[in-house]
Amino acid sequence: MRYSHFITLLCVAVGALTTTSCSINPATGSPDLVLMSQSSEIEMGKKMHQKLLKTVAIYPDEKLAAYIDSIGQKVARNSDRPDIKYHFTIIDRADINAFALPGGYIYINRGLLAYLDSEAQLAAVLAHEIGHVTARHVVRQDTARKSANILSIFSVFATGNAQIGDVTNLWSTAAVKGYGREMELEADGFGAQYLFNSGYDPHAMVETISLLKDQERFARYRAKNEGKKSRSYHGVFSTHPRNDIRLKKVIAQAGKFSDQASKTTNQQQYREHIEGMIYGVNYQAALAKVKIEKNRYSHKKLGFTLLYPENWQAQNNRSAITFSPEDKSAQLTLQVARHQQNLSPSHYLRGMAQVTMLRRSEDFSQYGLIGHTGIVAATKDKSAQRIAVLFQGARAYLFTGTVLSADKETDYDALFLKSIHTFKPQRTKTRKIKSKTIHYVMANERTRIDALAKQLKIGAYAAQQIRLINGLYPRGEPKPGQWIKIVK
């Protein structure tokens, strides 16, 4: 029985038991058993997109983003679903991947862009993901998952055989673990046709797979060399072997190729937009994510830092640094002095406070420093005070916490202690690590990858990395006059 005829019968049967409906797949032209309308699919994609933006960083290059979007929109207009709105986003990650969400939301990692060599190869990646959208693969998976129980019940009801229901469940479980080989091949076929319709060479899809397979090969080599377990690759085109006969047949059918078919690649346009793109870790973005602590005080000259209570203010006077809330209900002061090396923090603190007894007296240590703390009892003229000292070399840091007009709901002593215990040495800031970027140079007769790698000093496996991003892995060399990518 033909698949489309089987699905038609299944639609009628299951539709009689449920609200499930069938529709003609815009890409395949065959009826689909689906539980989601197009508007619901688009709404699902929108919600997933919004959640995704909260968890991943977007690459902040408006010019490159506009270029990616223009290529994606061009391919989408020549697809089987040109009527929906497509969104193309560059994710600021160094790993190699691209993926699609329902309703036209498509993503490509910055890391993947580094390995591509032309606009045609970029279009091939986007066309493949558009193929997943036009074929409604996510929707079909969702239906497979939601319909599993319905199909099982129907099978048992129609045949009286409970084992058929179990098989259906196994099928549905397998169907939702990933797109699977058939759906990936289907997306390739549609993508190749969309490439042809858009004026690009569909064979760019095969070229792209070859580049990514080299990366997989290197990853296995590196893992073995470092004694680590090689992680399997789950990105775009991951289901294909390098010489995929079925894939080549699918691509050959795109537009029923002839020798006059378009061979557009646009290498120069791609090169102009990738020039200067960050390669590897985006250190600037990583630093921007670091939480800015508004209540951190740092003294560069003395080399220390501490956190004071939130919503308090810090004031640096000649004799002391004072931290206090806006209503001046309390204050924590920090003074710096020399101390005698033969005195313990406990003896030093009692001498400075001119007392022999301290309540809740205790030694403590933190961040390589030794100290002592306690409470000076209240007198007629003065309220109780939390005092503490920390020794750093020949310096003594003396803390005094005083409550001036108590707020019954505030535990001032806990605030004083919390700040005291955040005090630590602050080393001189290390030099900021700059992100590496991609640049193009033209090879000449003397250009050799190994020599380039030594000159660029980009770490271990430098030569392999340079060859990978230029499609020369494992031992290739550039030809004179060829534009090649370098990283610096």
If you search the block for the tokens 């030099």, which residue do you land on?
431
Q: Residue 34 has what pLDDT?
A: 56
Question: Please, what's the b/e burial string for 151-190 (b: 16 or more CB within 10 A of its CB; e: otherwise)?
Answer: bbebbbeeeeeeebbeebeeebeebbeebeeebbbbbbbb
345: nearest Cα among 372, 373, 320: 372
CB contact set of 66 (below 8 Å; sequence gap of 6+): none
pLDDT of 346-395, one tens digit each? 999 999 888 888 999 999 999 999 999 999 998 888 889 999 999 998 89
Strands 278-279 and 304-307: unpaired
122 band by pLDDT with thresholds 50, 70 and 90 = very high
Q: Cβ distance 205 to 191 under 8 Å?
A: yes
Q: How far is CA 39 from CA 22, 85, 103, in A?
A: 15, 12, 8
Q: Which of 84-98, 211-225, 247-261 has the highest mean pLDDT?
A: 84-98
Handedness of CA 15, 20, 21, 24 (dihedral sign): negative
pLDDT tens-digit map of 240-287: 666 667 667 767 776 565 444 557 899 999 999 999 999 999 988 877
**Mean pLDDT to the nearest integer, 340-350:** 88
Tracing tokens 């406990």 back to the chain, one arrives at: 346
The single-letter code of the amino acid at 202 is: P
User: What is the identity of the amino acid at 399?
Assistant: F
The ranges assigned to domains in the chain are 3-282, 296-425, 436-487
Helix intervals (H) in 78-203: 110-113, 119-134, 137-159, 162-175, 180-197
The string of pLDDT tens digits covering residues 28-77 is 556 555 557 888 889 988 998 998 888 889 999 999 999 999 999 999 99
Between CA 246 and CA 136 the distance in angstroms is 22
Q: So what's the pLDDT on residue 318?
A: 83
Q: Which CATH architecture has domain 436-487?
A: Roll (3.10)
Lowest average pLDDT, out of 80-84, 188-192, 343-347, goes to: 188-192
- The answer for residues whose C-beta is within 8 angstroms of residue 140's C-beta and 6 or more apart is 32, 34, 183
Rounded Cα–Cα distance for residues 143 and 198 (Å): 31
pTM of the model: 0.67
pLDDT tens-digit readout, 1-39? 444 444 444 454 444 444 445 565 666 556 555 557 888
User: Across all residues in the chain, what is the average pLDDT?
Assistant: 81
Among the listed residues 128, 376, 354, 118, the one whose alpha carbon sits nearest the alpha carbon of residue 240: 128
Give the span between the Cα atoms of 488 and 469, in whole angstroms. 13
Written as one string, the DSSP assignment of 204-230 is HHHHHHHHHHHHHHHHHHHHHHTT-PP
Q: Which CATH code of 3.40.1000.10, 3.40.50.150, 3.40.30.10, 3.30.70.3040 fits the domain covering 296-425?
A: 3.40.1000.10
- Asked if pLDDT for residue 222 goes beyond 80, the answer is yes
pLDDT at 236: 62
Q: How confident is the model at residue 471 (pLDDT cuts 50, 70, 90)?
A: very high
The span from the CA of 185 to the CA of 119, in Å, is 22
